[in-house]
């Protein structure tokens, strides 16, 4: 019998790939851009494992082309790129990389919050444009972070990590999430309705996974409830936010600014109107991108593949219910 074959849809840190190669035959997609859907479809029939990225759409037809596959491991904590019910129906374990990126992602959410509050990208551009002629009492004045009210929507691991940072800034923390008021109080927050959060917060930070329920959770109605001085931060998924409604709200001064690590679609097209706004800071989905965290994510993704090949439960499995049915 030949060795198990695993396709890795992008270059990973060599240490992780070397470790994986001790367990199976590894094929790596070396291109900078992701493989097309058809490339994965073409290969998947011969694979025992797939290590994929959030840029790869993994749907039911792909799974049907791979009745032999033992594991699909996503190099991300989010897994909205994968049809999980379809995987569960077919008994395919899906791995993700939770935990290791919480602090790095929370650091970045806070970096976006600080950068938009204090208008750092605009200030850099101001110099570039030759406008720094003198110190001026009002130029480039921003919003205070210390002591402000922060609204956290979705209080899982990353939302809680952002709350810990906010405590250091003496912020009042309002939370709209599924966790109980007690759990939220223990984390230093106050559970409120989404409407109350939107109406009272100086900063709103999104930390929900993308699901049918959270698709365009923040749209025209929600943006209109926010303060005209409020700043919206999204490090979750682009589609949690309606981009057209956001553009109108930023353009019309319904909210003050936004900091977006994620967009709809990704990558954001260069002619997207959001990119024309000085009060919208957009960066290319890099919240978990520290060298150390990305290396840990690769290690976890490899651990999941190895466990799956060996018929063991994945260390971090998003559909563990499949093991009950066996």
Residues catalogued as catalytic: 237, 266, 285
State the nearest-atom distance from the C-beta of 238 to ligand GLV, in Å: 10
Q: Which is nearer to ligand GLV, 92 or 109 (CB)?
A: 109
Nearest approach in angstroms of CB 263 to ligand GLV is 12
Contact assessment for residue 23 and residue 70, using Cβ atoms and an 8 Å cutoff = no
Which CB atom, from 77 or from 175, has the smaller least distance to ligand GLV?
Answer: 77
Q: Can you tell me the distance from the alpha carbon of 250 to that of 257, in angstroms, rounded to the nearest whole number?
A: 6
DSSP E strand boundaries for the chain:
5-8, 25-28, 49-52, 71-74, 94-95, 149-153, 172-176, 190-191, 203-206, 231-234, 257-260, 280-282
b/e string for 56-78 if b means 16 or more Cβ within 10 A?
bebeeebbeebeebbbbbbbbbb
CA distances to 102, 159, 187, 192, 193 from 181, rounded to whole Å, are 22, 15, 10, 8, 11
Measure the CA–CA gap between 272 and 282, rounded to whole angstroms: 11
* Unique residue bearing structure tokens 């007690």: 182
In angstroms, give the least distance from the CB of 205 to ligand GLV: 15
The least CB distance from residue 262 to ligand GLV, in Å, is: 7
Footprint of ligand GLV (CB under 6 A): 54, 76-78, 101, 288
50 vs 101, beta carbon nearer ligand GLV:
101
CB nearer ligand GLV, residue 209 or residue 313: 209
Based on CB atoms, which residue is closest to ligand GLV, 77 or 82?
77
Q: How far is the CB of 101 from ligand GLV (least distance, A)?
A: 6
Rounded distance, CA 210 to CA 250, Å?
Answer: 23
């Amino acid at each position: 019998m030949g060795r198990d074959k695993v396709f890795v849809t992008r270059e990973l840190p060599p240490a992780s790939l070397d470790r994986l190669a001790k367990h199976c035959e590894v094929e790596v997609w070396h291109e900078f851009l992701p493989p097309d859907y058809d490339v994965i479809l073409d290969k998947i029939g011969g694979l025992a494992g797939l290590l994929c990225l959030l840029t790869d759409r993994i749907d039911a037809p792909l799974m049907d082309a791979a009745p032999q596959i033992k594991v699909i491991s996503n190099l991300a904590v989010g897994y909205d790129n994968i049809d999980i019910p379809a995987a569960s129906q077919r008994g395919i374990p899906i791995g993700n990389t939770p935990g290791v990126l919480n602090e790095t992602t929370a650091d970045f959410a806070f970096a976006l919050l600080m950068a938009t509050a204090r208008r750092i990208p605009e200030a850099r551009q101001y110099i570039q444009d030759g406008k720094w002629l003198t110190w001026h009492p009002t130029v480039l004045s921003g919003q205070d972070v210390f002591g402000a009210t922060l609204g956290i929507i979705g209080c899982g691991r990353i939302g809680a990590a952002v709350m810990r940072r906010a405590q250091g800034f003496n912020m009042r923390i309002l939370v709209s999430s599924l966790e109980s008021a007690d759990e939220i109080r223990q984390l230093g927050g106050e559970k409120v309705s989404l409407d109350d959060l939107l109406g009272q917060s100086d900063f709103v930070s999104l930390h929900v996974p993308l699901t049918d329920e959270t698709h365009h959770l923040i749209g025209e109605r929600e943006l209109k409830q926010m303060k005209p001085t409020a700043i919206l931060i999204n490090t979750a998924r682009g589609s949690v936010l309606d981009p057209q409604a956001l553009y109108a709200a930023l353009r019309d001064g319904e909210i003050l600014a936004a900091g977006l690590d994620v967009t709809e679609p990704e990558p954001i097209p260069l002619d997207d109107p959001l990119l024309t706004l000085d009060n919208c800071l957009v960066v290319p989905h890099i919240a978990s991108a520290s060298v150390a965290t990305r290396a840990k994510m690769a290690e976890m993704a490899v651990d999941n593949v190895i466990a799956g090949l060996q018929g063991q439960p994945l260390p971090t499995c998003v559909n563990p219910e499949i093991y009950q049915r066996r």
